[in-house]
Structure 1
Amino acid sequence: MKKILFLSVLAVLVFSSCQQGPVRYTQDSPEIDIVKQLISNYNNKTFDTSMYADTSKTFYNVSENPMSASEAMDYHKQTDANYSSRSFQNENSEYEMVVTDDGETWVNCWLGWKGTLAANNKEIDIPVHLTYQFVDGKIVREYGYWDPSEVVMELQKIEMEAKKAEEEMEPME
């Protein structure tokens, strides 16, 4: 009888030690699928905010003054004027979902972005990190980090060249 009791307790201990807790890290989740759809929408210039909570906040290279989801879509539409083409590249893209110690669900992604400036056909490649916080299947926070220096410098150069050409065209007094 003692052996049966001992084996029963041992079996319970072994069984309970094999039980896994909730998934805290994965590369396959519904939230990752939502982010991949969001990236696809960006590439297709489909400016859909249905993946965002009404109160979501988006931070692109800033820590204050977030944008709403619709303001973020307007931001993309406005910057599109600078490019003849632009998209996130599929190769070498990485996605992960983590659940923090505080129970927050985040999806991180590392992507390559490529754009061609409309004014001079210069191609620019930029590594981008995006991270999204989810609550009840909706994005409540979005953070985007990239180095815009090359784009800014090229746009300034284009502007200076246009201004110089304009000044050369003005009649002499």
Structure 2
Amino acid sequence: MRTLAMKILFLCPILALSLNACQQGPVRYTQNSPEIDTVKKVISNYDTKNYDTSMFADTSKTYYNTKDNPLSSNEAIAYHKQADSEYASRGFGDNHQEYEMVVTDEGETWVNCWLTWKGELAANGKEFEVPVHLTFQFVDGKIVQEYGYWDPTPIVLELQKIEAEAKMMDEEQTE
């Protein structure tokens, strides 16, 4: 009987540790969440040129290819509207979209997405595909920060080329 009692005393702590190890803590990584759904809505709104800022906190900051000089949500809309004038069509394709939500060690909630942007210049019909990474920080269900990173170089060079050609044509006509 004493041996049985010692076995039970020995096995109880192991069982308790095993049960404790099986308990899940808070979700720190997921590919399905209300925050991801919000980001998908932001992307859909961009694609349809529905510039709705209701998902953003009043004090949100947006950074595109920089860590300095953030844009307010209204300034970000103005940025997109100005850029839209350069394109016959533009948007994110449905293929190769990846979304994840993470909760950092500090308790911050971020949604990351990797997308492919496609656009056709209005001036000459040239098409571009650009990989884009966006990350959004959420507080109380609202976006408080957005960071966007992509390489605009091919598009900028093409726009400069178009501008130079137009200038040359203007100069030839004035001669």
Name the counterpart of 1:165: 169
Is the counterpart of residue 28 in structure 1 residue 32 in structure 2? yes
| Alpha-carbon distance, 1:84 to partner | 0.3
Question: When the two structures are aligned, how many residues end up with a matched partner?
Answer: 171
| Alpha-carbon distance, 1:11 to partner | 4.7
- For the residue of structure 2 that corresponds to 1:14, the secondary structure is helix
- The C-alpha deviation readout for 1:132-152, integer Å capped at 9, x for no partner, is 000011000100000000110
Is the counterpart of residue 68 in structure 1 residue 81 in structure 2? no
Q: Distance in 1 between matches of 2:38 and 2:86?
A: 27
| Alpha-carbon distance, 1:56 to partner | 0.5
TM-score of the pair, normalised by structure 2: 0.92
- For the residue of structure 2 that corresponds to 1:67, the secondary structure is coil
Query: Which residue, out of 128, 131, 150, partners 2:135?
Result: 131
- For the residue of structure 2 that corresponds to 1:169, the secondary structure is helix
Aligned ranges for residues 139-158 of structure 1 at < 5 Å? 139-158=143-162
Structure 2 stretches lacking a partner, 5+ long:
none
| Alpha-carbon distance, 1:68 to partner | 0.4
Which amino acid letter does the alignment assign opposite residue 79 of structure 2? Y
Aligned ranges for residues 1-173 of structure 1 at < 5 Å? 2=5, 11-170=15-174, 172=175
The alignment's C-alpha RMSD in Å is: 1.5
| Alpha-carbon distance, 1:90 to partner | 1.3
Q: Distance in 2 between matches of 1:124 and 1:7?
A: 64
Q: Distance in 1 between matches of 2:109 and 2:64?
A: 20
Which amino acid letter does the alignment assign opposite residue 15 of structure 1? L
| Alpha-carbon distance, 1:15 to partner | 2.6
Q: Distance in 1 between matches of 2:127 and 2:79?
A: 21
| Alpha-carbon distance, 1:12 to partner | 3.9
